Structure 1
Amino acid sequence: MQTIAFDIDADGIATLTIDVPGQSMNVIGPDFLADLDAAITRIASEEAVKGAVIASGKDSGFMAGMDLKYFGSMLASESGKRPAPAEIFDKVFVLNQLFRRLETCGKPVACAIEGTCVGGGFELALACHHRVMGDSPKTQLGLPEILIGLFPGGGGSQRLPRIVGVQAALLYMLQGKLLRPAEAAMMKVVDEVVPQGTAVATARQWVKTNPSASTQPWDQKGFKFPGGAGGFNPAFVQTMAGALPMTLKQTQRNMNAPIALLSAVYEGAILPFDRAIRVESKYFAKVAADPQAANMIRSLFVNKQAAERGARRPKDQPKAPTKKLAMLGAGMMGAGIATVAAQAGMEVVLFDRDLSYAQKGKAHVEDQLKKRLGKGMTPEKMAQTLARVTPTTDYAALAGADFVIEAVFEDAAIKAEVTKEVEQVLGADVIFGSNTSTLPITKLARAWSKPANFIGIHFFSPVEKMPLVEIILGQETGPAAIAKALDFVAQIKKTPIVVNDSRGFYTSRCFSTYVQEGVEMVAEGINPALIENAGRQLGMPVGPLAVGDEVSIELGHKIMVAAQKELGDAYVAQPSDAVMARMVDLGRLGRKSGKGWYDYPEAGKKHLWPGLADMFPRAPVQPDVDEVKERLLYRQLVECARCYEEGVLETPEDGDIGAIFGWGFAPWTGGPFSHMDTVGIGQVMAVLERLKDRHGDRFAPTVQLQDMAATGVTFYNPGSSRAAA
């Protein structure tokens, strides 16, 4: 066997050690399925085998889920078209059949979980008769498939409710929540938690002392779900009746997998187990057959992991980890960067012009670390981490830093002054990163005598929570700077994208169109509540006006004024410009001022400002919600397409990752480029032409989109090429 070592000890206990070659983590692929099939046959048929223990041969953990390359092959057919759900069912039900054979093999099977055990790996564990878990702060288990557009398809949606009850199981599966050892033991998801490194020995001892424990609870006569189940059980009916509307509200009816999961759990709970797993695979195949799942898997898992593993890193550059970071600016952004850098083990010199501001920045670091106490953070570790941060007002204290990140006020002159001061201390050979959201990197790099060593490194607020970092290349940025920035992002465990220079780069530029279109609709007299609800129904985290308040109306106005000044006659005015200026004149600057598109009373919930109706009288005829959603969506899509045509984006992968993790672009789409491919470039063109005729040139399709529609290529098609500039 290629993926499983099968060893039998003197007591007749077989140990199945999983070690999938060529993989950092054990995953389920065709070789593993064949080997597990053969191993189950041996356990069941060989008289010398009294029972079995399943363990991992990898330090990385027990097992993850399906090898997604293999899963992708399941969704392909010889004709080149996407296979029908019935065809996919035949492929995916194989896993369910194997796990069912394992738990009905007639002999006790225990699993020894050390480290990560998620997805299909956890479903394998659930099919075992006894689960032993090593106690480690890094160990976690669960069924997170919902986060990438799927749901548990290896029996997890049927076994977990039978172990912990329907309500608790749905809570974890619908949110993709993972469990730590103590929580898993409390919920009886695992039977024993033992000291790290002893799980195999403990599991072997259980098998030895329980030779007849080979029947799962749900296969025993009289079995009942914890908490009850069935159409006549009030608790079960109430749970399912409440779960559906809550899920529809949470997903805004955009996601396939959560609804399919609810259906599989509901139907499976009132059926015999062998029928229940067939129902699960039926719904799983239906979800897998829809492009939504493939798009989400590609962007949220495959491409995200590739980016984090250095897909855009220059291959010829040596590793360049940061040891001492010079963090310029101790505001919320700078303090946030200092926090994640210190947590990653770096020494951080936190510089600000005023020592009280620098100290306030360090206090922010301390506050963030306190929030993690008991969640992998100990008082001792917190003290060590905090000691790495040194607040200062002295440029000389930056000496010895091997990387600089600047996060001072968003003003080119101020940034240039600070940049020159730092170079006098460190010299131009050190890599300098500017955290700016809009100012062109090529221009900022003029203040550093070696522009090749100057790069943009755009973080998102709050830094501690936001997963994306946008790396921006100036016209002269060199490979050493790119490697240094990407190695830093890897150290702090964030997801990078790499884009080329332009005003607003990619994320800020495209995100702003969502807000602008919302503002323009307000000016047209469209009901603000309709606009906000449409944004959420589209799948965005919040409506365009609410997010405009969060980032500040005043900031958006300042960026617009700066762009007008910089570009002169080349600046293309937007209908939203005058509206934003008017709001600023009224002192309605956004949430920070307590009033913007919304009012923010000290006691009570925020609400849309009633004065909007007087300021922008309602149009007598209001659009329907689908029309508003279409405008909000396609205004973003066309700007993303422009960034790709202009070369700001070099890959659709960066575009999709950046959109979802940068500004919360509707995750169910897989990102703007995946969505355009799925809808069809021709259809995208038709909608944009219609919107352009009705609302103006901001919806005008790019030349590249026109070319793609004519030739039939797509963004993810290797034959796709940029339109000639």
Structure 2
Amino acid sequence: MGEFRYEKDADGIVTVTMDMDGPVNAMNAQFWPLFAETMDRLESEDGLKGVIWTSAKDTFFAGGDLNMLKSIDADGVQGLFDSVEATKAVMRRMERQQVPHVAAINGAALGGGYEICLACNHRIAADNPKTKIGLPEVTLGLLPGGGGVVRLTYLLGLEGAMPYLLEGKQVSPQQAVKAGLIHEVVPADALLARCRDYIHEVAGDPAATTQPWDTKGYKIPGGPSMSPKNMQRIAGAAAMLYKKTRGLMPAPAKILDIMTETAGKLDFDTALRYETRRFVSLTPMATTKNMIETLFFGMNKVNGGASRPKGVPPSKIEKLGILGAGMMGQGIAYSAAMAGLPVVLKDTTVEAAERGKAYTAGLLEKRVKRGRMTEEAAGKVLDLITATDKLDDLKGCDLIIEAVFEQIDVKDKVLAEHEALLAEGGIWGSNTSTLPITRLATGSAKPENFVGLHFFSPVDKMPLLEIIAGEKTSDETLARAFDFARQIRKTPIIVGDSTGFYTSRTIGTKIIEAVELVAEGHDPVRVDNLSRLTGMPTGMLSLLDEVQIKLVVDIYNTQVEMGLLDPEKEQNPAGREMLAELRGQHGRHGRATGKGFYDYTPQGKTIWPGLGAWRKPEARISDEDIKDRILFRAVLESLRCLEEGVLRSAADGNVGSILGIGAPVHTGGYIQFVNTYGLDRFVARCEDLAERYGERFAPPAILREHAAQNRVFA
């Protein structure tokens, strides 16, 4: 059974070692009684000099029980409120006990774990490169409910606390000391000894047993929320939050509200209770359940290898070759070198290869300037990249990734010239967003060792890697590709080799639906703005300009020529015709040329007046229909990918849609969105849209089956 081990030494110092059931300590049903019983015992001790809180796990404390939190419905809110208030009451007993409580942070202290640390008088962390400290609840649709919002606002002030509370920023122990989140960092083997020494050093000092917020006359750094400077800061933060969330994610706004009230007229204990009310109000919300399900459980499933072929031993790439030092190749080289992997970056000339390597040099220089890396460490990363135009330098690579132009003949030529340079048993990866892997592998001597590796631009920032299995790609190759993705710290999803795979196919549906709306005669600015109001990062017409109209048209024409698409079955004929005309007759290729749906100038962008030719004053449609047509197209395409086996799991679809193609975060991904929308309700809405706008909105069989069985997509 889990326990809080209790040891009192001869000096009267008690060490409480948290060792709960499972791999981590968490604020679950087991935690509440252990915590309260330990405080009962501490309060009854004679001769108590101080208390050290530490952990028997690799992490200090992981936070709240997310399984429990995502299960809360409206009927469970009062029970959760009572539980949270009871735990906070124990924390207040800790703070008010007239002996120093010291947090010995031996590993990660996030969320509820850091809230326990905040309730301690002194916080000392071990110098552990894996340790992160912070309050990331907002990234899961929650807020710190164990006193984190209130205590951090008191500790750092409104401005200082905002990045940690509103953005969920996590920092290393060294950064935490500089920010004032903790007090000290010491070598791991000296952690407990330093905690004991600290207790001896402050013996008899009342200041060491009184929290800042309980100190008479204490003022929150930066002043109260009603000061003119802070009122302006709060207004600015509220505006930025709305711009980022479109009002679709309530947690950040609730956090800002709590911070404002905490630094306002509420006393400390009333602020804690107010925080609890705001916290429990989030738990029944669909947004919260969606974000927890995908951004925690789904992400863990995907990164943990749920879709990785079973029975294949773990592997590591020892030498990576990259063909093409352009935008994609240079980004892959940077990501691999940052993971400590030797890279040979080859292009047709050594000058081009050196320019690709210079991209890494530039990114490393920024890290050094920001204090995130030493010059010595940056130099070691850069030395891992060999820029070359020589074939022989690629000999012995156990993975070669071609990142050349998206043209089959170019990729075929590169494969023929370089495949023999692979090490024995080496694998070949083609970086492509749309070209069929099975077709590309026909020129390979070993198609079973050929795999698609679809990176997203910019590679150094985008966390997703879409791994595409061709018809002959072996399970061993897929597993090795998966392991490589994790090696370079990417999140991998494994998908089938259908036209457009998963991500390109799905992102294309919502873009072309927006174009279809404009072709029907609706206002393009309205269409673009409403697509943003679904929670997508940018408007669909703006996104199309970024992707390039020319590229989208060329890809479509190529797929038609290859027999992959039948134009007679095109679901958005008006939209396709409009794109062809924009590209052909009007020469509007996208933002790169300054001319797309928008005109781009140094002063900004304005909608192209020529789109007025498509406007129809008689065209009528509700805002809700515009938003649903764009969002539902992507959701339905994701379901069809799951139905066809292009996706191996709902988790892959959800994680891939958020990390790769801009699915609104509050939905938890395109498939998870259906679960909390309600399957029957979603079917009915699809039927309504299909009746009015076309069969592309008809519910697929997999959706009807799940709805009939009242079974969510998991």
Distance 1:355 1:439 in 2: 28
**What is residue 704 of structure 1 aligned with on the other side?**
702
Distance 1:125 1:564, change over 3 A: same
Question: Could you tell me how far apart the structure 2 residues matched to 1:607 and 1:141 are?
Answer: 44
CA distance in 1, matches of 2:228, 2:319: 60
Q: Partners of 2:657 and 2:589 in 1: how far apart?
A: 26
Q: What's the counterpart of residue 370 of structure 1? A: 365
SS at match of 2:392: helix
- Give the secondary structure class of the aligned counterpart of 1:611: helix
Indicate the SS of the match to 1:676.
helix
> What aligned pairs does 1:519-538 form with structure 2 within 5 A after superposition?
519-538=515-534
Match of 1:605 in 2: 604
- Aligned residue for 1:402, secondary structure, equals strand
Q: 100, 103, 107: which is aligned to 2:99?
A: 107
Equivalent position to 2:467, from 471, 481, 496: 471
CA distance in structure 1 between the partners assigned to 2:307 and 2:3 by the alignment: 31
User: Offset of 1:621 from its aligned partner?
Assistant: 4.7
Q: Quick check: 1:200 aligned with 2:192?
A: yes
**Deviation readout 1:256-276 (Å, 9 max, x if unpaired):** 212222333344443333332
Change (3 A) 1:561 1:485: same
Query: Which of residues 225, 243, 247 is equivalent to 1:253?
Result: 247
Q: Please state if 1:151 is matched with 2:137.
A: no
**Residue 432 (str. 1) matches residue 418 (str. 2):** no
Matched, 1:42 2:34: no
Deviations 1:445-470 (A, max 9, x none): 21223222221111100011001111
Q: Secondary structure at the match of 1:371?
A: helix
Cα–Cα, structure 1 residues 229 and 105, in superposed 2: closer, same or farther, change >3 Å? same
Aligned mates of 2:427, 2:21 — CA distance in 1:
38
Q: Secondary structure at the match of 1:567?
A: coil
Q: Which amino acid in the other structure matches residue 594 of structure 2?
A: G
Paired residues for 1:645-656 under 5 Å: 645-656=643-654
**What is the root-mean-square deviation of aligned Cα atoms in Å?**
2.4
One-letter identity of the residue aligned with 2:98: G
8 Å contact from structure 1 (residues 160, 169) kept in 2: yes
1:277-328 per-residue CA deviation (whole Å, 9 max, x = no partner) reads: 2221221111012132121111011211221122222231111100001212
CA distance in 2, matches of 1:487, 1:96: 42
Contact 1:429 1:450 in 2 (8 A): no
Q: Deviations over 1:68-107 (max 9, x none)?
A: 33544xx25xxxx763422332233343233222212332
Structure 1: give runs of 5+ residues left out of the alignment: 717-725
The alignment status of 1:384 with 2:380, answered yes or no, reads yes
Gaps of 5+ in 2: none
Q: Deviations over 1:199-247 (max 9, x none)?
A: 43333222223233322222233343223336x6545544444443432
2:416 equivalent to 1:420? yes
Structure 2 letter corresponding to 1:596: G
The answer to whether 1:681 aligns with 2:675 is: no
1:158-557 maps to which residues of 2 (within 5 A)? 158-181=150-173, 183-194=175-186, 198-211=190-203, 212=206, 213-229=208-224, 233-235=227-229, 237-269=231-263, 270-373=265-368, 374-426=370-422, 429-557=425-553
Map Cα deviations across residues 413-465 of structure 1 (whole Å, 9 max, x no partner): 22222223223333783221211111121222212232222211111000110
2: CA distance, partners of 1:705 / 1:140:
41
Give the partner amino acid of 1:348: V
Q: Give the Cα separation in 2 of the matches to 1:216 and 1:469.
A: 47
Structure 2 counterpart SS, 1:677: helix
Hey, what's the Cα distance between the residues in 2 that align with 1:385 and 1:219? 48
In 2: Cα distance, 1:51 partner to 1:266 partner: 34
Cα distance change, pair 234–594 in 1 and its aligned pair in 2 (3 A): closer
- Partner of 1:557: helix, strand, or coil? helix
The separation in 1 between residues aligned to 2:237 and 2:336, in whole angstroms, is 40
Distance 2:259 2:142 in 1: 14
Contact persistence 2:438–2:471 (CA under 8 A): yes
CA distance in 1, matches of 2:675, 2:132: 36
Task: Give the match for residue 6 of structure 2.
Answer: 6
SS in 2 for 1:422: helix
Matching residue of 2:118: 126
Residues 155-193 of structure 1: per-residue CA shift (max 9 Å, x gap):
001111111112332343111122444554444332345
Three-state SS of the structure 2 residue aligned to 1:431 is strand
The code of the aligned residue for 1:526 comes to H
How far is 1:404 from its partner? 1.9
Paired residue total: 705
Taking a change above 3 Å as real, the CA distance of residues 432 and 53 of structure 1, as seen in their structure-2 partners, is same
Report SS of the residue matched to 2:640.
helix
SS, match of residue 322 in structure 1: coil
- 1:5: how far off? 3.2
State the distance in 1 between where 2:174 and 2:397 align. Answer: 41
Q: Is the contact between residue 100 and residue 127 of structure 1 (CA under 8 Å) also seen in structure 2?
A: yes
Distance 1:64 1:710, change over 3 A: closer
TM-score with structure 1 length normalisation? 0.92
Query: Structure 2 vs 1, CA of residues 704 and 183 (structure 1 numbering), >3 Å: closer, same or farther?
Result: closer
Check whether the contact 2:399–2:422 (CA below 8 A) recurs between aligned residues: no
SS of corresponding position for 1:600? strand
Whole-angstrom CA distance in 2 between matches of 1:195 and 1:256: 40
Corresponding residue number in structure 2 for 1:16: 16
For the Cα contact (< 8 Å) 2:398–2:425, is it kept in 1? no
Once residues 185 and 704 of structure 2 are traced to their aligned partners in structure 1, the CA distance between those partners, rounded to angstroms, is: 60
- 1:341–1:348 contact (8 Å) kept in structure 2: yes
TM-score (norm: length of structure 2): 0.93
The answer to whether structure 1 residue 661 and structure 2 residue 644 are counterparts is: no
SS in 1 for 2:242: helix
For the 8 Å contact 2:338–2:381, the answer to whether it is kept is yes
Instruction: Provide the C-alpha distance between the structure 2 equivalents of 1:69 and 1:678, rounded to a whole number of angstroms.
Output: 16
Cα deviation, residue 154, structure 1:
0.6
- Could you tell me which residue of structure 1 aligns to residue 631 of structure 2? 633
SS state at 1:606 partner: strand
Alignment check: 8 A CA contact 2:663 2:669 kept: yes
Q: Partner of 1:7: helix, strand, or coil? A: strand
Aligned pairs for 1:17-96 (under 5 A) are 17-20=17-20, 22-23=22-23, 25-58=24-57, 60-72=58-70, 75=71, 83-96=75-88
Find the aligned partners of 2:533 and 2:662 in 1 and give their Cα distance.
13
Q: Which amino acid aligns with 1:437?
A: S
Give the letter aligned to residue 260 of structure 1: K
Aligned partners of 1:13 and 1:51 also within 8 Å: yes
Range that drifts further, 131-140 or 207-216: 131-140
Distance 1:676 1:557 in 2: 31
Residue 535 of structure 1 and its aligned partner are, at CA, apart by 1.7
Separation of aligned partners in 2, 1:413 and 1:3: 64
Q: Greater CA deviation, 195-204 or 507-516?
A: 195-204
- Structure 2 equivalent of residue 722 of structure 1: none
Report if aligned partners of 1:83, 1:289 keep a CA contact under 8 Å in 2. no
Change (3 A) 1:558 1:53: same
Corresponding position of 2:641: 643
